[in-house]
Structure 1
Amino acid sequence: MNETADSITSYKAKTAHPAPARFIRFFDEVGIADVPLVGGKNASLGEMYRELTAKGILVPNGFAVTAEAYRYALDRAGAWTALKAALDGLNPSDVDDLAKRAARARDVVYGAPTPPDLEAEIRGALAQLTEEYGADLTVAVRSSATAEDLPNASFAGQHDTYLNVRGAAAVLDAVRHCFASLFTDRAIRYRIDNGFDHFKVFNSVGVMKMARSDLAASGVIFTIDTESGFEDVVFITGAYGLGENVVQGAVDPDEFYVFKPTYRQGKRAVLKRALGAKKIRMVFSDRGRATTRNLPTDVKDQERFCISDEEALTLAGQAMVIEEHYSAKAGAHRPMDIEWAKDGVDGQLYIVQARPETVASRRDRNIAEIYTVTKHGAVRIEGRAVGAKIASGKARVIEHVSALSTFVPGEILVADTTSPDWGTVMKSAAAIVTNRGGRTCHAAIVARELGIPAIVGTDAATRVISTGDLISVSCAEGDVGKVYEGGIEFEVERVNLSTLTKPATHVMMNVGNPDSAFTLAALPNDGVGLARMEFVIADSIKAHPMALVHPERLDAHERAEIARLTVNYASPSEFFVKRLSEGVGAIAAAFYPKPVVVRMSDFKSNEYASLLGGGVFEAFEANPMIGFRGASRYAHPAYRDGFALECAAMKRVRDEMGFVNVKLMIPFCRRIDEAEKVLSLMRELGLERGKNWLEIYVMCEIPNNVLLVDQFSKRFDGFSIGSNDLTQLTLGVDRDSEIVAFDFDERDEGVKEIIRLAVEGAKRNGRHCGICGQAPSDYPEIAEFLVGLGIDSISLNPDSVLQTTKRIVELEKRLGRTPRKTV
């Protein structure tokens, strides 16, 4: 931070302006109120340069060629009549007519000579910038329209930018090209679609020090989750080289999430991350101004993140400062869309653009729209989901821009990637599927604006899908989007959350998938009653914990696979701890500061054996359902080292990441002395009950937990009834056996009686008692039975939360209980 501050001070000290210019404004002369003069991009750059450099935001210095200069150049050339004639009678739905007229308009603007006095001012400003940065200065020349980067219209990617421009002649030519880019096909169509008059929007041009990200990395930051609208995270994407590949979706970028509340508390930890393929990197060619080319990324670079955790956290902190500043200016929360670049020469992280986010932040968070897939075909391909919706239609594979005219409205657009020139076709698509791109690429941004589902970064969509195929695109099943063969059946439930009432009984959720947590958190809830650790282990880690502690016991193939999985980590053990803590942390963040009850691993031995390397560490059991599982594993020599990793991950979640809302829960704890051994070991491993507000619950799923409820109450802070196991052990029915499945019924009077004893026993001892099994989700009468007992909380599957909540409210009214308040 000191090095950055020194650099900022140095840059500012060198900035001194000569006599006032008519057509030039340096960044420290403009702010966000100057959009009519210098356009949205330049106004924002000036605002940050002038107001935020003292707070650690490093913006490359530069100047704006004003919108008045654009008007002046066209006035002097007498170009307005020809320009209006070029667009008179335009049919924006006719792609060919639009292209011809747009080209004619650009020729008119570019053909307007730069007046001598304007040229002199640009040359003078560039000389001043060169004096500041040195003779080797190259600049970025960027369009900044007066209707750009507004809270209700971004115009992202509509106008031209020229990079690494050297010398006054090249800068002057780039300025004229930027002026002309006000009339690209995509910009014309965007203005028409958003109700802007072509001749009331003007182009300013920014000329700023080039941040040499071609030698390092660059990307995009959102101060909101772009899919769910969850506002408490900073979402960072990045790839090697110039940022155009990230913005246009030509590359699958790395992703980082940082949680704002705990960051502000001083907890510096990445919440979760995803490694992108980053197969190409954009660099400058040697053939002249602004010429770029893509080169293959070295395999070793592909396998590691393009920036360090420390750099990701620095960017997150800067994004939060920017968001807070713009929110204060607006008098309301203002999520931001920010571009960053790491300079490979000086190593600095620069902010090169910031504008209001215009899609996720404008959604009505009070309206919940829940899609549930009920029937589908085989999965054809998967990628990153954009927009939690579903669409079906015939596929249209577009391999070149020349084929866009073949697209039929209502088809599903399948392409390698998209660009702003494709806007007209994308607007009429039912859905979009691309080979390349991340969730901040052009296709993703446009899909969100249009409200259609998109799946990006599939890698092979154009190879496995053919034009005419009937396919279905589902983005309603978490972060992973799925393209199914054929049609799809689904249900949609729309609920106005502002009209719902919270019952006195706490309604919590069962959540296993961290990727869906931000979306699920929007449902009315009192936290998470069951966060399943096994889901994270199976989906994100994939290896047996003991195999990561003792890889020497594996065969050569398994050791090689472990090495591949853990390549970005100091050790296989660190890989487990960080991956598990980030998975659990994402769930904890989504529901923060509400309680999130995390159950320690509850795989059965056959399930552990299916993990990578698991066969070496697991013995065969005839009935693993009542075998070596839960608490019995934790202190046992056969798994103690694995449990130590679990505890290290949970300690990291609470202590380093700051999620003290996480409570821990021990499953399948058969006996009192087993409970004491596990608690003693957890204390030894840094998870001491009562320290740092840690509460430890026990699953109440064995009849002995109920019979000895008074003694278990002395060891644990609460109980969570696991109705599935409690039912099978009460009735003596193996719930995995199809032969006796008919005997498995949570509504049996004996099962209800043992549940009653459990609830009353917990209450008698002043302990929390909830239920997290399947029964309340499946059977309304069980939910009503539990409410009648006065259970503290009911944890439900997400798809049954709304209906069951309404049912509980009605039941409590009949029982004379007072609900809490509107959600």
Structure 2
Amino acid sequence: MSTYVRWFSEIGIEDVPEVGGKNASLGEMYRNLTQEGVRVPNGFAVTATAYRHYLQANRLEEKLHGYLDGLDYDNVEALQKAGEACRKAIIESEIPDDLKEEIVANYAKLKEEYGENLSLAVRSSATAEDSPEASFAGQNDTYLNIQGDEALLDAYKRCLASNFTDRSLHYKHDNHFDWAKVYLSVVVMKMVRSDKGASGVMFSLDTETGFKDVVFINAAWGLGENVVQGTIDPDSFYVHKPTYEKGFRAVLKRRLGSKELKMVFTDTLNTDNIAVEYTKNIETTPEERSRFCISDDDVMVLADYAIKVERHYSEKAGYHKPMDMEWAKDGEDGHLYMVQARPETVESQKKGDILEIYHLKERGRVLVTGRAVGTKIGQGKVRYIPDVKHLDQFQPGEVLVADTTTPDWEPVMKTAAAIVTNKGGRTCHAAIVSRELGIPAVVGAEGATKILETGQDVTVSCAEGESGFVYEGILPFEIEKVDLSGLPKPKTEIMMNLGNPDQAFSLASLPVDGIGLARMEFIINEYIKAHPMALRHPEKVDDATREQLETLSRAYDDMVDFFVKTLSEGVATIAAAVYPNPCVVRMSDFKTNEYATLTGGKFFEPEEDNPMIGFRGAARYSHPAYEEGFALECAAMKRAREVIGMENIILMIPFCRRVEEGKKVVETMAKYGLKKGEKGLKIYVMCEIPNNVIQIDAFSEIFDGFSIGSNDLTQLTLGVDRDSEIVAFDYDERDPGVLKMIELAVEGCQRNHRHSGICGQAPSDYPEVAEFLVKLGIDSMSLNPDSVLRTIRDVVKLEEKLGRK
């Protein structure tokens, strides 16, 4: 048996003290998950015993103590000097002969498995690494595409020396690790040729919100360092775990990243024929930027890996253990490999049921936008730091603005009020560290270093969904803290209105009974940006518009595929936030003037004097001018329910004027694959026109439920245009006539055993309307997210007063 080397098949997670977190986890996966179909490249660990042997044989301990004992870690210059001296001492020492022989002999064995042309990944694995308390993300060095005995031995020495980089020393100090007791083991494993393929990171939860029902994957061309360090904007994907486990195989949500660079290998050698530069970045081609770097099938394989890894580690720990993983796709054999797994170190460490919600009380001028990290708000004066040499200029409490960050920046990052970077996705270095420190960050904010000026007051908001905003000035905000453990559940169902998929996961922890109104319009407006008929018939628009449509849909099979996938994934993301509770999705309710503003819309929409009561809602769906557009909506909803697996989606028809129109819409939906009652499909109707109330018995024969739209019902009952400022004083949902209409609607639902709900603005704005609805015995109220918690408390008190429990 080897003294200094242990193969992956011989080690597991319990061997961290001897082989470090990275090796232990690779061994754990290799031993336990390869038989379940998770691919892990084979390799071996050069142990912590070997590290201690190296130090002792070269009498290095005394030298290292001399450099580091009494060091002021906050003195950047002193830290740099001490770290450099430590690394030089290690690299200039010799590997003991017995250790050298074992490393070379085991490399030869690995070549027997993979062939003489095998190249290696040589990676540091610190013995305190990847504990739940600290990620050690990017603290120690990795060397890739290593071939030959001398190159391997050189890379081994460099890994040992990286235990004493400035960033690694400071990180150990900050996390109360004794540097003399953090030993360096080294991973020697088959190199996955992702330089010719793709790579990235993934998490078994959503990193920003802690939402546990998804796998979150980031991907880029080439080696994974660009994703980790945040030098590029990667592709991202979500997969919904509960529906995956039920057998559905579809991406829940995707975003095309620009992937500006690709890291590949270089052959820069020194006079001893040993690589001095291992990698280089090259620009990606326009074609590579315009398409996703992995296929949907690849995403499903990765999701399978992530679920199996999380399940294994959770079973071993005896509690739910979200995981942070690295993967690589080999461009030579086409296979996907797991190359690292460690416990997720931020969201999984949060304890208790205290929900903190940050609310920006007013908004200012938006200076830059990017990807939000976390859900907090930070503010202060901007400090632009161009490179590591200028770090000493940074003052605690400032907003750090940089092109990108590396582990060397961590000593100042922890003192920042917020962080903004030009580059990076939500799993880049700046994002990982900000998350760990609980500091809001906006990454991938293109042009931030040119637009934001040192000394300028800004507010950095990550409290508005996946997009992060940097506002001009110091804006007021508040933090709402709610103890969910003591929140009682009312008998009346409290649901939530939500149209923005980017906010879905951050609101998933609210104690609601589902989504009462998910509007399609936001997704069409913000993500698709094009008129459905223009995408269906690009030949009917002019050349300039057709070019815009082609640009929007370039990452998809065709324009129809773009519409169907984008709409289905947007809606499914909202439904996933409350799964398996119901999610009521309203089919499109744009008015003609709103549709006309979409790309290509002017070629298909008539001009109307009063669009508010014109060609909108149900009237459009079977009309020759829009039926093909409605068919695309139906295809998207069928995909969301039957391919992605969101069977909790209930569809709702807006602005249905007449009973005959209702019948025609239900027939049209069946024609396009959405048959009421089939696969549990329910179809509701908006109750927002007086005729819906007057003929509620007849409408009840067609639809499964009603959702009162108090906005339009008020408008049409009182004869007030709600868009007109001059008569705004006459628009009041609390008018006795409006309340009588609502009362008749609820009674009609009860009489016909149909679901009754309300999704208009009234109960969100007026507690007295919510009280009125509870007294009527309405089944559900759907509210804006910011009024959910207040209304739950009010409804519980009222129900107790009425003797309902």
| 1:10 matched residue in structure 2 | none
| 1:309 matched residue in structure 2 | 296
1:472 equivalent in alignment to 2:459: yes
AA matched with 1:575: F
Aligned residues: 799
1:357 equivalent in alignment to 2:344: yes
Q: In structure 2, how many angstroms separate the alpha carbons of the residues matched to 1:312 and 1:156? A: 24
| 1:722 matched residue in structure 2 | 709
Q: Secondary structure at the match of 1:413?
A: strand
1:737 equivalent in alignment to 2:718: no
Q: In structure 2, how many angstroms separate the alpha carbons of the residues matched to 1:496 and 1:26? A: 48
Maintained 8 Å contact 2:508/2:578: yes
Matches within 5 A, 1:228-377: 228-288=209-269, 289=275, 291-364=278-351, 366-377=353-364
AA matched with 2:740: E
Maintained 8 Å contact 1:439/1:456: yes
| 2:442 matched residue in structure 1 | 455
Instruction: Name which of 506, 524, 527 aligns with 2:514.
Output: 527
Instruction: Give a deviation string over 1:12-45, Cα, whole Å, max 9, x none.
Output: xxxxxxxx11000011111111111111100110
Instruction: Name which of 107, 119, 126 aligns with 2:88.
Output: 107
Q: In structure 2, how many angstroms separate the alpha carbons of the residues matched to 1:513 and 1:527? A: 15
1:188 equivalent in alignment to 2:175: no
AA matched with 1:417: T
Q: In structure 1, how many angstroms separate the alpha carbons of the residues matched to 2:367 and 2:635? A: 39
Q: In structure 2, how many angstroms separate the alpha carbons of the residues matched to 1:606 and 1:227? A: 37
State the superposition RMSD in angstroms: 0.9
Q: In structure 2, how many angstroms separate the alpha carbons of the residues matched to 1:24 and 1:168? A: 16
Q: In structure 2, how many angstroms separate the alpha carbons of the residues matched to 1:733 and 1:25? A: 79
Matches within 5 A, 1:632-671: 632-671=619-658
| 1:14 matched residue in structure 2 | none
Q: In structure 2, how many angstroms separate the alpha carbons of the residues matched to 1:355 and 1:109? A: 28
- Which stretch shifts more, 405-414 or 562-571? 562-571
Instruction: Give a deviation string over 1:505-551, Cα, whole Å, max 9, x none.
Output: 00000000001001111111000000001111101100011111111
| 1:28 matched residue in structure 2 | 9
Instruction: Name which of 777, 780, 784 aligns with 1:793.
Output: 780
1:620 equivalent in alignment to 2:607: yes
Q: In structure 2, how many angstroms separate the alpha carbons of the residues matched to 1:154 and 1:160? A: 14
Instruction: Name which of 368, 371, 386 aligns with 1:384.
Output: 371
Q: Tell me how far 1:107 sits from its aligned partner.
A: 2.2
Q: Tell me how far 1:376 sits from its aligned partner.
A: 2.6
Q: Secondary structure at the match of 1:773?
A: coil
Matches within 5 A, 1:423-572: 423-572=410-559
Q: Secondary structure at the match of 2:517?
A: strand
Instruction: Name which of 127, 152, 158 aligns with 1:177.
Output: 158
Q: Secondary structure at the match of 1:287?
A: strand
Maintained 8 Å contact 1:63/1:208: yes
Maintained 8 Å contact 1:365/1:522: no
Q: Tell me how far 1:802 sits from its aligned partner.
A: 0.7
Q: In structure 1, how many angstroms separate the alpha carbons of the residues matched to 2:572 and 2:233? A: 24
| 1:46 matched residue in structure 2 | 27
| 1:767 matched residue in structure 2 | 754
Q: Secondary structure at the match of 2:572?
A: helix
Matches within 5 A, 1:98-177: 98-177=79-158
Q: In structure 1, how many angstroms separate the alpha carbons of the residues matched to 2:415 and 2:163? A: 24
Maintained 8 Å contact 1:376/1:487: no
AA matched with 1:755: I
Q: In structure 2, how many angstroms separate the alpha carbons of the residues matched to 1:165 and 1:87? A: 32
Matches within 5 A, 1:572-651: 572-651=559-638
Q: In structure 2, how many angstroms separate the alpha carbons of the residues matched to 1:244 and 1:570? A: 30
Maintained 8 Å contact 1:83/1:109: no
| 1:6 matched residue in structure 2 | none
Q: Tell me how far 1:492 sits from its aligned partner.
A: 1.6
| 2:191 matched residue in structure 1 | 210
| 1:71 matched residue in structure 2 | 52
Q: In structure 1, how many angstroms separate the alpha carbons of the residues matched to 2:3 and 2:34? A: 26
Maintained 8 Å contact 2:368/2:446: no
Q: Secondary structure at the match of 2:331?
A: coil
Maintained 8 Å contact 2:123/2:143: yes
| 1:713 matched residue in structure 2 | 700
1:199 equivalent in alignment to 2:186: no
| 1:678 matched residue in structure 2 | 665
Maintained 8 Å contact 2:208/2:375: yes
- Which stretch shifts more, 417-426 or 51-60? 51-60
Q: Secondary structure at the match of 2:370?
A: strand
Q: Secondary structure at the match of 1:291?
A: strand
Q: In structure 2, how many angstroms separate the alpha carbons of the residues matched to 1:384 and 1:570? A: 26
Instruction: Give a deviation string over 1:648-692, Cα, whole Å, max 9, x none.
Output: 000011111111100000000010000000001111111111110
Maintained 8 Å contact 1:224/1:361: no
Maintained 8 Å contact 1:724/1:746: yes
Q: Tell me how far 1:365 sits from its aligned partner.
A: 6.2
Matches within 5 A, 1:88-103: 88-103=69-84
AA matched with 1:275: L
Q: In structure 1, how many angstroms separate the alpha carbons of the residues matched to 2:119 and 2:640? A: 45
Q: Tell me how far 1:113 sits from its aligned partner.
A: 1.8
TM-score scaled by length of structure 1: 0.96
AA matched with 1:297: T
Instruction: Give a deviation string over 1:759-780, Cα, whole Å, max 9, x none.
Output: 0110011001000000000001
Maintained 8 Å contact 1:249/1:442: yes
Maintained 8 Å contact 2:12/2:24: yes
- Which stretch shifts more, 167-176 or 766-775? 167-176
Maintained 8 Å contact 2:256/2:555: no
TM-score scaled by length of structure 2: 0.98
- Which stretch shifts more, 305-314 or 289-298? 289-298
Q: In structure 1, how many angstroms separate the alpha carbons of the residues matched to 2:145 and 2:196? A: 12
AA matched with 2:155: A
AA matched with 2:486: T
Give unmatched runs, 5+ long, in structure 2.
Answer: 270-274
- Which stretch shifts more, 783-792 or 192-201? 192-201
| 2:272 matched residue in structure 1 | none
Q: In structure 2, how many angstroms separate the alpha carbons of the residues matched to 1:376 and 1:69? A: 58
| 1:15 matched residue in structure 2 | none
Q: In structure 1, how many angstroms separate the alpha carbons of the residues matched to 2:332 and 2:751? A: 68
1:405 equivalent in alignment to 2:386: no
Q: Secondary structure at the match of 2:367?
A: strand
Q: Secondary structure at the match of 1:83?
A: helix
Q: Tell me how far 1:110 sits from its aligned partner.
A: 2.7
Q: In structure 2, how many angstroms separate the alpha carbons of the residues matched to 1:374 and 1:617? A: 40
Q: Tell me how far 1:102 sits from its aligned partner.
A: 1.4
AA matched with 1:196: F
Maintained 8 Å contact 1:387/1:451: yes
Q: Tell me how far 1:364 sits from its aligned partner.
A: 3.4
Q: Tell me how far 1:715 sits from its aligned partner.
A: 0.6
AA matched with 1:557: A
Q: Tell me how far 1:367 sits from its aligned partner.
A: 1.6
Q: Tell me how far 1:373 sits from its aligned partner.
A: 1.4
Maintained 8 Å contact 1:164/1:210: yes
